[in-house]
Amino acid sequence: MNPLLIEIGTEEIPAGVAPRMGASLTAAVKKLLANANVAPDSIRLGVSPRRLLLHAENCPVMQVDREETIWGPPERVAFADGKSTGAAHGFAKKSGLSLNDFELADKGDGKGNYMKAVRTVAGRPVAEIIAEAMPGILRKLPSPKQMQWQDGAARSDAFIRPIRWMVARLGDAVIDFSFADVKTGTVSRGHRVHGSTGEIDVNDPFGWLESQYVRADRDARKALIAEQLAQAAKHEGVTLVADEALLEEVTDLVEWPQAIAARYNDDFLRLPEEVSRIELKHHQRCFSSYDADGEVSPVFFTVANIASKNPAAVAHGNERVVNARLADAAFYFDRDPKTSLDARVEKLSEIVFQDGLGMVGDQVHRMRAFVLDNAKALGVDANDAQRAALLCKSDLTTGLVGEFPELQGYMGGIYARMDGETDAVAAGIEHHYAPAGADDDLPENRIARAIGIIERIDKLLGYFHLGRIPTASADPFGLRRAAIGLIRLLADTKQPIDMTLKKVIDEAAKQWNQQRVTIAIADETKEKVYAFVIERLLGLSSNLGFSRTSIDAAVNSSETRSLYREALIARHLTGFESSEEGQAIAAANKRIANILKKAEVIPSIVDSTLFSEAAETLLYNGLVQAESDFQAAVSTDDFETSIAPALSVLAGLRTPVDTFFDDVMVMADDAAVRGNRLALLSRLRALFLNLADVSRL
């Protein structure tokens, strides 16, 4: 047993990429060793902007010997008239064995004896196993983009960033392989400024890197940054604005973090809070703060990748950049309100929505018409909603949003209030981009939700019309994200939208077709968009609180319902499908669906006079009663409370259904009897389908 060390040294890897690559590298090496029956100690991962590092304190040097069983052709092929055939000799030669090494043995498949040999396979050096596999592993590491570089010899391999060194050791031995024309060795590099080049300690690489001003343990580095920021904020008498995403990003940008406090000019405190926060976060990767009264503070914090002898100089450099950027923001903030959002709507006709789909001005008028036509179903005031939809993109023409695109929507709300628009209109404009992702909060404002729905479905219809449909590896226009946002808005049960997905698609397509500025949406395009959204819905199921099979069953019912109602059904089915009754009912429905699928003719009427088995009468009577009870359950004004009783009614049919299939031959010889039994099953299936297609559970 010797320590195992693998380190891939690179130019700086973009934030967020190195941890994913490191996790994949760890998984691949673990799988490689497990398949070779090599069991090292737990593998520790180190990730920094310039390196991916794996280390195990103990790893076997040699693979253990193992016995391998070789099965040859069956006895009837290997022997004829008591003598071995050419097939037997050929297989033995191919296996590298003599015929005497084989015996006849039963394989256990009930087909007689086969040629069998057991040989001992000598274990290989683990270093050889790793060396053979590593180039292929490195080629398959996931990264958003790869690059090739040439600073000497031409390289055929690509990587996320140029590789500058590689260390691969098993104890004192070097694991010899090359990738991108870089050979493995024992020499590593420390911090760019403070560190040096030298032989890394194979027993304690993390300690050696620490001595070279590199904290390679990412979790420890993140914790250190958080601690330094908290201490710096306490020293300055302010409260840090929590920003987990920024903390994650900064962790991937530094190897030797040093938190430093700085301050921008107090004059910029008159800017809206998000302006300074966005500037600090997106342009400088700095953290904002609040003062003791909970107001925005001019104190901010940068995390340097250097232990500076003059931290004040680092702070001053950041202050100079931030003050210059905020001065630009203040200039636009003072100038933009001189032209109202209403007056800016006309300028949207100069901004391209997408080549082939017209201008943003066209989109705004489609959105306005949609919320006007469907205000009641969307649960919004028609006047406020159409006003917000008309103005929601006007901030794209402002100087401040042009300089800081991340502020779109937010500044629209600020400017709307300055123009004297109502709070409902301003909030609708401010929050209509939410949610940006699968885990973001939904907007509280119903107008924002209404605009968010039409914007997303409008985008999907337009891009699908152009054939810009996402592939497995590419989604350059963010259509999956648009579909996910649409689903979350329509499936939310706290502020339900009383529109089916197909209704939303039809109404949005109507706006395209009535406008006729650029294109007309065909029925085929609508069907593709519907299928795409449903596919995303199935993939998003666990985030929404139900199983994939339960929402699949709910959306495939015979009743067309709003997505939030299908979500409610799916949540009830998620518990039901794992119960004994649920499994039995699902199995019965699968059987019924298969029988009906094969039937050529199914009568529409059940004739009880044709019943010849008691089980038929039992099921028919149970079905008639269940239909009445089911209708009573679902007719309540509160749809959510009706689901459990309706499901209970369906579950109550388990016994008569089981008895029917035990005692009755559905496909009877008599055509009339057969047709009547099929009609009974069809009526039973229709009752279940009213709530959900439980055969999909």
* Residue percentage of the chain with pLDDT more than 70: 99
Q: Quick check: 516 pLDDT over 70? A: no
Structural class in CATH, domain 341-544:
mainly alpha
Q: What pLDDT, on the 0 to 100 scale, is given for residue 362?
A: 94
Model confidence band, residue 611 (pLDDT cutoffs 50, 70, 90): very high
Q: What pLDDT, on the 0 to 100 scale, is given for residue 510?
A: 95
Q: Quick check: 484 pLDDT over 90? A: yes
Q: Quick check: 582 pLDDT over 70? A: yes
Q: Quick check: 683 pLDDT over 70? A: yes
Residue-by-residue DSSP string for 118-157: EEEEPPPBHHHHHHHHHHHHHHT---S--B---SSS----
Kindly give, in sequence order, each residue whose CB lies less than 8 Å from that of residue 672, ignoring residues fewer than 6 positions away: 610
The region of weakest confidence among 207-221, 477-491, 568-582 is 568-582
- Domain 2-62+125-211: assigned CATH number: 3.30.70
The ranges assigned to domains in the chain are 2-62+125-211, 66-121, 218-336, 341-544, 580-696
The more confident residue out of 585 and 459 is 459
Q: Quick check: 543 pLDDT over 70? A: yes
Do 84 and 99 contact (CB within 8 A), yes or no? yes
Q: What share of the chain is helix, strand, coil (3-state, %, to 5)?
A: 55, 15, 30
List, edge to edge, every strand of the sheet that includes 296-304: 239-240, 287-290, 296-304, 258-263
Q: What pLDDT, on the 0 to 100 scale, is given for residue 349?
A: 94
Average pLDDT score over residue span 22-31: 97
Q: CA-CA distance, 306 to 321, in Å (whole number)? A: 19
Q: What pLDDT, on the 0 to 100 scale, is given for residue 188?
A: 98
User: To the nearest whole number, what is the mean pLDDT of the chain?
Assistant: 94
* Residue percentage of the chain with pLDDT more than 90: 84
Q: What pLDDT, on the 0 to 100 scale, is given for residue 150?
A: 82
Q: Quick check: 518 pLDDT over 70? A: no
Do 413 and 393 contact (CB within 8 A), yes or no? no
Average pLDDT score over residue span 297-319: 96
Q: What are 380-393's pLDDT values in tens digits?
A: 999 999 999 999 99
Q: What pLDDT, on the 0 to 100 scale, is given for residue 141?
A: 95
Q: What are 40-60's pLDDT values in tens digits?
A: 999 999 999 999 999 999 999
Q: Quick check: 517 pLDDT over 70? A: no
Using alpha carbons, select from 501, 497, 482, 391 the residue that is nearest to residue 434.
Answer: 482
Average pLDDT score over residue span 194-201: 96
Q: What pLDDT, on the 0 to 100 scale, is given for residue 485?
A: 96
Cα 69 from chain centre: 43
Residue written as tokens 């069907």?
527
Q: What pLDDT, on the 0 to 100 scale, is given for residue 155?
A: 76
Q: Quick check: 154 pLDDT over 70? A: no
Q: What pLDDT, on the 0 to 100 scale, is given for residue 66?
A: 81
Q: Quick check: 152 pLDDT over 80? A: no
Q: Quick check: 638 pLDDT over 90? A: no
Q: What pLDDT, on the 0 to 100 scale, is given for residue 123?
A: 87
Superfamily (CATH H level) for 580-696: Isoleucyl-tRNA Synthetase; Domain 1 (1.10.730.10)
